[in-house]
Structure formats: C-alpha cells, structure tokens
Amino acid sequence: MNEKNYMGMDGFIWWMGVVESRQDPLKLGRCQVRFFGYHSDSLTDIPSADLPWATPAHSLNNHTFSTPKETDVVFGFFADGNSRQMPIMIGIIPGIETNPPSTGTGYHDLRANNVIAAAPKVPAARTYVSDGSGVKIKELDTTNPSVVSSLRYPRATDLGNNSITGLTRGALLPTDVMQSRLNESYPKITSANKVTFQEPKPIYSPVYPYNQALATESGHSLEFEDTQGKERITISHRTGTFTEYYPTGSKIEEVVKNNYKVVFADDFIHVMGHVVVAVDSDVFIKANGDIWIEGGNDMNVAVSGTMNLSVGEALNIKAKSLNIDIAQDATLITGGNQYFSPAGDFNLDSATGSIYLTTEVGQIEVSATDSFDVTAADIGLNSGTPAGLATPGKTVNLSSPAPRAKKNDNPIGNN
C-alpha cells in the first residue's frame, strides 16, 4: 500500500534568508525572502519581485502585528516539505551588521526611493522650547536623494553594530528620545509661596541583558528595565513625550505638546501629600454646578494685577475679624441702602484729611441715646429717634468653618 505525503508528513526542511520586501499586498505580514543556497544574489536570475512570500508564524498568546524589515535575516521552514512553495517565518536572527547597502545585487534593501521616502523614519532633531508652543520637530528632507540614500538599510549607524536595539545594550543614538532626555537641562520651577520643584533626571543605565526594549523605525520605544536598583518602565513617543515609572514607584510624565483629558463620568483624586502647580500662562476654570473649596488651615491669595470678583446674586462673608488695607482710594457703591451694625463702637478716623457726609436728595440724620459731641462751624443736629431711618441689616446665616486641620508636612519633591 502506497503512503501519500501531506502537510506534516513530509520531511522537515528549514531555510534561512534575507528580507528584501515587506510590502505584502494581502497585508498579512508576509515578506519576500531571498533564501541562502536556494537563490543567488543575481537580480537577473531572480528579481526581488519574483521572490517567494514567507508567511509569519505569530504567537498564540496575542494578535499583535509586526514584520521584519528589509535586510533582516530570518529563518523558518517549508510547510509543504519538498515542494518548497510555502515558506513559514518563525524568527529573526540577530547579528552584527557588516554588509553595506547596495542596489545592484540581492540580499540587500532594494526598495525604490519613493518607497523609502514614505517609510517611517526618526526625526532629524528635536528642539525643546519654553514659550508654551511645544517641542519643535525637524523631519528629514526626503526630497534630497542623498538623504533618501542614507535611509537604505543597513544605515551608517547600523554598520559594525549589533542588530539588537541600543536601548537594551546602553548604546544610544543621538536621535533616541532617551538620549535627548539625557542631554536636556532640568531647571527648577517656582510655584506659589516660592515653593520650587524639578523634573527628575532619567536614571537610564541598563545592564545587559536586563533591559527588555522595543524600538520602532520612527523613533517610538518601550522599555522594561529590570537592572537592580534601576527598575523602571518607560514609554516614549518619537517627539519626546514620555511616561516613566521609577524604581521608587514614582511616575514622571512629560508632554511636549498639548495634553487632553476627558472623563465621561466622575473623576476622583486623593493626594496624601502636597499639590504644587506652576503655570506659565493663563488658567481658566469653569464649573456649571456649585464650587466648594475648603481649607483646613490658612488660605492666601496674591495677585500682581487687578482682581475682579463678579457675583450674580448675594456675596456673603463671615469671619472672626476683617482687616482691609487699601493704599489709595476706596469706593463702595450700592444700588440700595447701606447698613453698618457694629455690636461695639463705630469709629471714623481720618488722620490727615477731612470727613464728609454728603447727600444730594435726602437728609443726614444722627441719633444717639447717650451724648453726641461735635465741633464744627456749621452743622444741623437731630436728637431723639429721627424718622425715616432704615432697619439695620441682619447677620448672614453662614455656618462656621471646621477647626484647623493637622497639616501633612511631608517633604516636597521626593522621587
């Protein structure tokens, strides 16, 4: 009885080769691979367009998508055995880049210039500014043929170097976000009451092989560093925006452009230490409902310019004592009557000027149950209970604040 060969029963045949294209028309992550031994480097014998499509074998643990890039060395097996028409990629083999770029033979990056110009690339430069406009990103000039040529794999920075990302090995490139952070200056920032703080500096100092890192072609990166004493997680965007978790558990976040946060329900924040905020421009806060601010101790407000307080209804103030110190004139205008109801004496004292009581349509009346002494050249007095005096105002019905709370005076700025 003759046995039939079928997938899985053929002899296991594996292969190794170099990726020459990843522009899969089916968008399955396939790559065109030139196999060592099976193919020559002659583009006449077999052009890149005629190379077989190798299908990736992804992990069963997730559905993430990634493909090898041009000039990556990959290996796998033929799913159809001796027929060798169904190559499956199962891994990338790292190494030291020693093969300079070329467009004349196989086993190289043979992409057209327009494909390279449209492919991902790291920024040429980042300029951090403090005028509130955000980071300035300079992109590579892909209209320049020499610039496009420099982007062909392997690039000048790749030659002679390990194909594993430099983030893992502590070999940063000038275009890496982490290198930009290491070069950045971190000035002290002053908030209210002269409280200062400073963004912590990066603690990047990996020991191989304890930093598991991913670096993309456009400059994004993700790091899980397990180096003892340097344990951190860092997520970086190519522009320089990053989030980093320090060994102590502190979180550092830097946004180099605008930051938006939208919460469709409630938002709860509990801070057991201090809250220090410094804003270099304007601050706008609006609530469509009531606003409650409670302070367990003192509240201090210092405004360098004019302070405007506009209240649509009543303005109620309740305090143990009220002290107002005005350097120049003071004006109080009311659309109705004014009432002053002190429980003790009422004193008007002008040390250097005169005191004037003036009415244009009504009259000025003074009533005293005891003595009333006036020294003046001409004044009219009315004793007893003059008619027409308004009823004194009533005490505002406000609840008293809670007793002083115990402050949490932990140090500011511990990382």
162 touches 94 (CB < 8 A)? yes
- Confidence (pLDDT) at 122: 95
pLDDT of residue 393: 63
The two structure tokens encoding residue 389 = 């005096």
Q: Which helix (H) or strand (E) holds 35?
A: strand 31-35
Those residues of the chain that have pLDDT short of 50 are 1, 376-388
Q: How far is it, in rounded angstroms, from Cα 144 to Cα 287?
A: 52
Return the DSSP state at 394.
P
415 vs 378: CA distance, rounded Å: 74
Predicted local confidence at residue 5, as pLDDT: 64
- Give the torsion sign (CA, 296, 297, 302, 308): positive
CA nearest to 252, candidates 237, 238, 241: 241
The 10s digit of each residue's pLDDT in 373-405 is: 655 444 444 444 444 455 566 666 777 777 877
What's the whole-model pTM score? 0.84
Copy the structure tokens of residue 258.
């605008």
Cβ contacts of residue 401 below 8 Å, gap of 6+? 294
18 within 8 A of 33, measured Cβ to Cβ: yes
Tell me how far apart the alpha carbons of residues 385 and 286 are, in angstroms, rounded to a whole number.
50
| 168 φ, ψ (degrees, to nearest 5) | -70, -35
C-alpha–C-alpha distance, residues 238 and 224, integer Å: 18
Query: How big, in percent rounded to 5, are the helix, strand and coil portions of the chain?
Result: 10, 15, 75
Residue type, 257: K
Q: 111-286: which CATH number, 3.10.450.190, 3.40.50.1370, 3.90.1010.10, 1.20.1560.10? A: 3.10.450.190
CA atoms within 13 A on the CB side of 102: 11
Three-class SS of 2-20: CCCCCCCCCCCCEEEEEEE
Angle CA 147–149–151, to nearest 5: 75
Where are the CATH 3.10.450.190 domain residues in the chain?
111-286
DSSP codes, 204-248: ----TTSEEEEE-TTS-EEEEE--TT--EEEEE-TTS-EEEE-TT
Given this model, what pLDDT does residue 383 score? 42
Identify the architecture of domain 1-110 in CATH: Beta Barrel (2.40)
Res 381: pLDDT: 43
The 10s digit of each residue's pLDDT in 8-67 is 667 789 999 999 999 999 999 999 999 999 999 999 999 999 999 999 998 887 777 889
* 319 vs 120: CA distance, rounded Å: 64
Cα separation, 308 vs 221, in Å, equals 48
Rounded Cα distance between 1 and 294, Å, is: 91
Measured between alpha carbons, how far is 219 from 126 in angstroms, rounded to an integer?
12
Question: Euclidean distance between the first and final Cα of the chain, in Å?
Answer: 76
Distance separating alpha carbons of residues 201 and 18, to the nearest angstrom:
41
Kindly report, as residue ranges, where domains of CATH 2.40.50.260 are found in the chain.
Answer: 1-110
Predicted pLDDT of residue 338: 85
Tell me how far apart the alpha carbons of residues 58 and 394 are, in angstroms, rounded to a whole number. 79
**Rounded Cα distance, 320 and 298, in Å:** 13
